[in-house]
Amino acid sequence: MAAGGITGRAILFTATLAACVVSTAVHAQAYPSRPITVISPYAAGGDSDLSGRNLANVVPKYLGQPMIMTNVVGASGTIGSQKVRSSPADGYTLLIARIGSQAIIPALDSKLAYKWNDFSFLSVLELNPYVCVVKADAPMKNMKDLIDTLRAQPGKLNYSSAGAGTIQHMGPQYIFNITGLPAGAAEHVGYKGAGEATTALLGGQVQFMCTNMTTIGGHLKSGTMRALMTTTSERLKELPDTPTARELGWPQLETLTGWSALYGPPGLPAEVVNKWTEAFKQIAQDPDWLKGNVAIGGVPAIRSPSDTEKFARDQYELYEKLGTTLNLRK
């Protein structure tokens, strides 16, 4: 009797264990079983917001669940980034990573709450051609005019950015450095996002801006802004009359490019990473996503998780070196 009871309990235990294993497997395969929240760490209308919404437009076709965009702004993108870093590693809270919040600021600020690699890497999304612009009615007609004005009247002009440590902030500093201008050649004015920084230029609060094509392409097309230079290796087809940095004698500036990527909290399960990897293989060919990139001025750049991590490392090391050269690291 006792032996039979033990045997019965053993069978019950074995059956329960098997059921748990099956339940766990089914649960893992079910990802995602509810909407996915994706945080943009910058304001609405900026590069990360536009990139995320372009992705959210096609994700339901491949994952079967909606992707809900949420803007968590502040501290140059680090507040939203930290929120994702500290979220549960279940794949339901993800981040639109940006060059500023995931490469530049970690490279410059040793006291930041997170490091460049404190995340799970899913994929790069797109690259953003980098362009220096002024208002259409500005007296500076080309890049030489701008540099000459900065040299003749240091500190008189202002330039806008999406915040300290963003590519809109660091790009001009790099330009000043390689053209022999002091770091204070122009006054930096930071805003909550690229959209606000663009509005400041159009409103005359600042005199120039170096930024990604993502947020200013429409203004260049409509003629309210004038492009002075791009950092792409070849002239952009949208800006055939705008010279490249290499043409102007500054090939070093080709390393300046904006980008977006999709990150998750550290320790994402392999099942979640694999699900996204398979989805991205299809998204890379999706006509709606590709069309959306054209609209926002992005160059599609989907990569594997390992290649995304290498790309992020290279970008981090670039700004770590630049920050050291310009004495901006702290």
Q: Which residues pair with 13 in a beta bridge?
A: none
Number of structural domains found in the chain = 2
CA distance 181 to 174: 10
CA distance 61 to 216: 29
Does 11 score more than 60 pLDDT?
no
One domain, residues 149 and 110: no
Which of the residue ranges 18-22, 121-125, 141-145, 271-275 would you say has the lowest mean pLDDT? 18-22
Sign, CA torsion 195/161/288/282: negative
Domain finish residue from 255, 272, 305: 255
Does 3 score more than 70 pLDDT?
no
One domain, residues 245 and 155: yes
Determine, yes or no, domain membership for 83: yes
Reported as a pLDDT band with limits 50, 70 and 90, residue 195 is: confident
Determine, yes or no, domain membership for 23: no
One domain, residues 86 and 176: no
One domain, residues 233 and 147: yes
3-class DSSP assignment, residue 161: strand
One domain, residues 123 and 135: no
One domain, residues 55 and 203: no
Which of the residue ranges 16-20, 210-214, 246-250, 300-304 would you say has the lowest mean pLDDT? 16-20
Task: Report which of residues 164 and 264 the model is more confident about.
Answer: 264
CA distance 161 to 140: 19
Does 23 score more than 50 pLDDT?
no
CA distance 54 to 47: 11
Reported as a pLDDT band with limits 50, 70 and 90, residue 325 is: confident
Domain finish residue from 232, 255, 278: 255
Mean confidence (pLDDT) of the chain = 90
| 30: nearest Cα among 265, 275, 267, 263 | 275
Q: Cβ of 6: how many Cβ atoms within 10 Å? A: 10
pLDDT in tens, 94-116: 999 999 899 999 999 999 999 99
pLDDT in tens, 183-194: 899 999 999 888
Determine, yes or no, domain membership for 30: no
Determine, yes or no, domain membership for 232: yes
Helix, strand and coil in the chain, % to nearest 5 = 45, 20, 35
Determine, yes or no, domain membership for 59: yes
| CATH number for 102 | 3.40.190.150
Reported as a pLDDT band with limits 50, 70 and 90, residue 29 is: low
| CATH number for 182 | 3.40.190.10
Which pLDDT value is given to residue 194? Answer: 83
Which structural domain range is residue 43 located in?
Answer: 36-127+257-325
Q: Cβ of 246: how many Cβ atoms within 10 Å? A: 16
One domain, residues 187 and 233: yes
One domain, residues 224 and 171: yes
| 81: nearest Cα among 34, 125, 48, 50 | 48
One domain, residues 244 and 266: no
Q: CA gyration radius for the chain?
A: 23
Does 6 score more than 50 pLDDT?
no
Determine, yes or no, domain membership for 66: yes
